Structures are given as structure tokens and as C-alpha cells.
Amino acid sequence: MLIKKKKDLPDNQVTDYSIYQSRRHFMKTMAGLGLMATAGGIIQPSFANTSRQFSTNEKLTSFDDISSYCNYYEFGTGKSDPKKNAHSLVTSPWSVVVEGECQKPGKYNLEDLLKPVSIEERNYRFRCVEGWSMVIPWMGFPLAELIKRMKPTSKAKYVYFETLLDPQHMPGQKTKVLDWPYTEGLRMDEAMNPLTLMATGLYGKDLLNQNGAPLRLVVPWKYGFKSIKSIAKIRFMEHQPVNSWQKANMTEYGFYSNVNPQVNHPRWSQRKERRIGEFRKRKTLMFNGYSEQVASLYKGMDLKKNF
């Protein structure tokens, strides 16, 4: 994790969060000693701050809003259900199965998977398909780091992700609201883009269950449903996988799901969004404001067809 000095982080962004503060106090002490702390508490030497170029300086959404207003259908379809119900998810021990077109398949326990990574903080805009957005200080590491370690073969054109399947602890999986387990996919170049994050925490704390503990994806230029939570399987694939929302409704949800104010959802406009914590609506930006970093990935593609 990056240790932000006080001058880098306005006080109004952190003072509301007492839990974060105590942790931050610990980390500031560590920073004074020239050490870094990961979300898992492992101390590592400091590393170059390459991630800040991608981060936004916009006002952060409060920790309370981020952890209370959630989408996690395994725990109910209402926005407040995950906070109420996700305590039943067991996140330790946790393992991730890696399979398909790669040279290092296997079942990795989370500690082994995270041992070599440096956890960074990145403030990303996060936009949901139904018209709301947040700015979240994620803790995590580039997905590219993990992919490189798994040595994908030349056949690996896509990366597929699966959430844990555990109806006993995820009561929503006993219903038919989606085809379980929740699945997602990225094209390999999207997955390797430096913006694509494997998140382990936010606001300097490990992820809460309702936000996708212990490991979730964050793809800031895409609609929120691409950011699959509580990942238990990663598969390298030759062919484009189908995600949960495509399975639920092919005409409403596509594979790419790039934030695009020009392409409406069949049931609502995508031109404007409301930042949680604000009343006014703001114009939605192409690729959620990350065009400079990602527009080249889609050069020559018809983004109306490939929505």
C-alpha cells in the first residue's frame, strides 16, 4: 500500500473513518521508518509510485456509503442487503483455482497468491450500470502481475473469473435470480491493462464481505458488474466467455460493457450519473474518463454493436 503523506490526502477525506485512522496512524509510523505495510499486514520495502498517474483527485465517496450501498446478489437483490447478510461468507481460509491455457495451473491459497505483490492505493471512479457512481480508494495490485506469474500460453485470449459457489453461506445462490456461480470475463489486453486491479481492500482496510472480500476485480472504465467479487476461480481461455448478466439477458448486457454515454441501456439512458452523496447529476464520460488509457484497445471496433 502507498503511504500517503498528510499533505497528499485532504483531511476531510479521512477524518470520518475512525477505523481507517488508527490503521493509518500505524502506517504513518511505518512510513517514518521507511517501511510499507500491505493490507495483509506484511511489511515490504517501499516501491516506486507508478499508480498515482491513474488515480483521480475527485472527492472520495464516504466509507459508509461504499460499504452500505452495494450490489451483491449472492446476498440479496436490494442495495442494503449485502451489508445485512454478507457476514455469513467465510473468507478465511480462501483459495483460488487457476486453470486453462497457462503453464502454472493449480489451487493457490490466498496468502501464496498475494505474497509477491505490493498492495497499492488507487482512487478510481466506479460507475454502475443503473446510473450511480462513486470514487473509491481501492487497495490492490495490477491483475497483470498475477497473469504474468501464471504464464498464459499463446492460446490464452481471454481471462474468465468465477465467484465462490457456496449456497450454504451465500443464501442468494439458493434462488434462481442469476445462474450461479457469478461469472465474468475480460479480453487479455483488457486484463493486462495497468488500470485493471485485483482489489483486496479500500480506505486502507481489508475488503468487507459486502464489497467482495477477500479478492475482487476492479475495471474502472467498465460498468460495475464487470467487477466480480469474491473470486475463487480464474481460467485462461481461447474463446470469449459469457458473463452472468449476458446469460440473464443478452439484449441488455454485452461482453465489453465499457462505460459509454452514447449507448443507452434498453431501459434507461446512460448519459448521466449521480455520484453517491450528491444530488445533482453529472454527465457520464466516455470510458468513465479513462479514454487516454484505454480507447486504443477498441480502435476500429463498433462500440454500439460491441456494447
Which residues are near ligand MTE by CB under 6 A?
A: 70-74, 128, 163, 182, 211-212, 224-225, 227-230
Minimum gap (Å) between residue 224 Cβ and ligand MTE: 3
Nearest to 26 by CA among 15, 16, 17, 36: 36
Q: Which 3 state secondary structure label does DSSP give 292?
A: helix
Minimum gap (Å) between residue 157 Cβ and ligand MTE: 23
Among residues 3 and 198, whose Cβ is nearest to ligand MTE? 198
Among residues 79 and 149, whose Cβ is nearest to ligand MTE? 79
The long-range contacts involving 99-102, CB below 8 angstroms and separated by at least 24 positions, are 99/233, 99/234, 99/235, 99/236, 100/156, 100/160, 100/235, 100/236, 100/237, 101/152, 101/153, 101/155, 101/156, 101/236, 101/237, 101/238, 102/150, 102/151, 102/152, 102/153, 102/156, 102/236
Minimum gap (Å) between residue 6 Cβ and ligand MTE: 27
- Does residue 134 contact residue 15 with C-beta atoms inside 8 Å? no
Among residues 104 and 282, whose Cβ is nearest to ligand MTE? 282
Minimum gap (Å) between residue 121 Cβ and ligand MTE: 16
Among residues 78 and 116, whose Cβ is nearest to ligand MTE? 78
Cross-strand partners of 231: 163
| Site of grid cell 500505524 | 26
Among residues 163 and 200, whose Cβ is nearest to ligand MTE? 163
Using Cβ positions, the residue closest to ligand MTE within the complex turns out to be 224
Minimum gap (Å) between residue 29 Cβ and ligand MTE: 30
